[in-house]
Amino acid sequence: MSLYVQIVDNQMAQCIDTMPPAPIGTDGWKNAVEMRLAITAHRQGYTGHTFDLTSDPVQIVYETYDITVDERKSGMKSNANFAVQQLLQVGVENIDLEAIAAAKAEISVKQAAIDACTTHDELDALL
């Protein structure tokens, strides 16, 4: 995907992913590229971005952050609850109480395993 930025008074004015209304090099329009450092899956994420207006093409630079074990555990537990939520979405007349009970039991086991983890490596082993 091509990116373009418009710089006005040495400040970022806009960033678009369609052809700019004026040719590159006029009205402050420049090509831009995203610069994302490699991250470790499930252990890091991207924060907001900044623009390096001095480079050509302009660099849209994303910083990274570390995901804590507790944040990851919370997300994994939310994902585990999704199965029961899906079963409850079918409507009152179609609820399968046995399936819901089985899903809840399975979730309890998953959540206990998640709660017992203290490191990312232990959480990775649950995937």
Residue 92, pLDDT above cutoff 80: no
Residue ranges per structural domain of the chain: 3-66, 69-126
Q: What is the mean pLDDT of residues 85-99?
A: 74
Residue 58, pLDDT above cutoff 80: yes
pLDDT of residue 91: 63
pLDDT of residue 127: 87
**Percentage with pLDDT > 90 across the chain:** 76
Q: What is the mean pLDDT of residues 16-43?
A: 96
Q: Which two tokens stand for residue 34?
A: 């995203």
DSSP string, the chain: --EEEEEETTEEEEEESS--SS-TTSTTEEEEEEEE----TTTEEEEEEEEETTSSSEEEEEEEEEPPHHHHHHHHHHHHHHHHHHHHTT-GGG--HHHHHHHHHHHHHHHHHHHH--SHHHHHHH-
Q: Specify the residue for token string 């004015």.
A: 13
pTM of the model: 0.71
